[in-house]
Amino acid sequence: MPQSFWIGILLILVAGVMAGDCMLPLKWSRKWQWENTWLVFSLVSLLVLPWMLALSIVHHLFRTYTQLSLLQLAIPILFGAGWGVAQVLFGISIQRLGLALAYSIVVGLGTLLGTLVPLFAQDRAQLNRALLIEVFAGIALMLVGITLSAWAGHIREQAHDTGRMSPSSRYSAAVIVAVLCGLLAPMLNYSFAFGQDIALAAVHLGNSGVRAAYAVWPIGLAGGLLPNLAYSIFLLRKNRTGRHFQSLYPDAGWATLMAVLWMGAFALYGMSASYLGRFGTSIGWGLFQIFMIMTATLSGVITGEWKRAPLSARALLSLSILCLGSATALLAHANH
């Protein structure tokens, strides 16, 4: 296998670890409510950091944008807006289901759609039977891992909710929110995959493929910014929690750390897609999401989410990690 392939895999692994842990600081907020943290996180991750990276890395950035049609710019923005709704639902899912289970459901569905849609829409001519068997086998193993993780989470939730009011209905409602989020979540990858006209324009102006990838993010993430800002401001007014911004330390730092981890992860993913080659935005997305799930699951275990879980739940969780690891091997081999 070429060296560039292993560089791409390493970048995806690091990106998956960063993305899998980017919501972890939510556990350590002291005074801020969810909406306070989410507002700062959204501004830094979707506005400040993408533009800082693009302006510092991409040569002739604004000239790149002026060479594109309105449609070429609108497509990644619209996909980004759909993902922005998913991002709001994702934050809610983390609160209601916990780190490990929310990641499993949301990222599992996002992986399935985010892998297959670009694969068949953009790379159909390069597909063959052997490749499809490996891809579908990898995805099937991943979905088994997701199912086992969700089953383990349900067992854990039932054990924790003993004696509380209607735990099954609250759990079901939370799962529905997570599923809806999962259906919308891959729109960020659609934004990147179908926004490659932006990267190509940057390449034509003298940027390398790795540098040009950063030109896509400010446009795609601009669409995702508005839903996140709107929902955060709505909750700030409804709950009258804007006063919490009077106390910045340490919660502002945690929100900023979340943003740095999140944007750093997607910046590395964009780089890895260039190194992986032909299926970088399809199979590469699947690998990225699997590493996220595994990292978030292990972080949930380390931070005590599964400390009081029944033995059966922990056994299912271990089996799910084994399935996800096997899925990683299959997808990586399919992309080599």
Name residues whose C-beta falls within 8 Å of residue 300's C-beta, 6 or more positions apart in sequence: 98, 99, 100, 101, 103, 306
Which of 72-86, 111-125, 170-184 is most confident?
Answer: 72-86
pTM for this prediction: 0.81
Sign of CA dihedral 89, 95, 99, 105: negative
What does the alpha-carbon distance between residue 300 and residue 294 come to, in Å, rounded to a whole number? 10
* 57, 161 Cβ separation under 8 angstroms: no
Give 101-121 pLDDT, tens digit per residue.
Answer: 676 677 777 777 888 887 787
Pick the range with the lowest mean pLDDT from 133-147, 166-180, 199-213.
166-180
- Percent of the chain exceeding pLDDT 70 equals 91
Give 14-25 pLDDT, tens digit per residue.
Answer: 999 999 899 889
Q: How far is CA 127 from CA 311, 315, 326, in A?
A: 43, 37, 22
Peptide bond into 250 cis (omega under 30): yes
Region 271-300: mean pLDDT is: 81
* 274, 280 Cβ separation under 8 angstroms: yes
Largest CA distance in the chain: 64
Q: Which two tokens stand for residue 322?
A: 């084994």
* 284, 8 Cβ separation under 8 angstroms: yes
Give 25-81 pLDDT, tens digit per residue.
Answer: 988 888 999 899 999 999 999 999 999 999 999 999 999 999 999 999 999 999 999
Select from 167, 186, 142 the least CA-distant residue to 293: 142
The DSSP result for 70-119, as a single string, is: HHHHHHHHHHHHHHHHHHHHHHHHHHHH-HHHHHHHHHHHHHHHHHHHHH
Region 88-104: mean pLDDT is: 73
Pick the range with the lowest mean pLDDT from 2-16, 132-146, 279-293.
279-293
What does the alpha-carbon distance between residue 34 and residue 285 come to, in Å, rounded to a whole number? 28
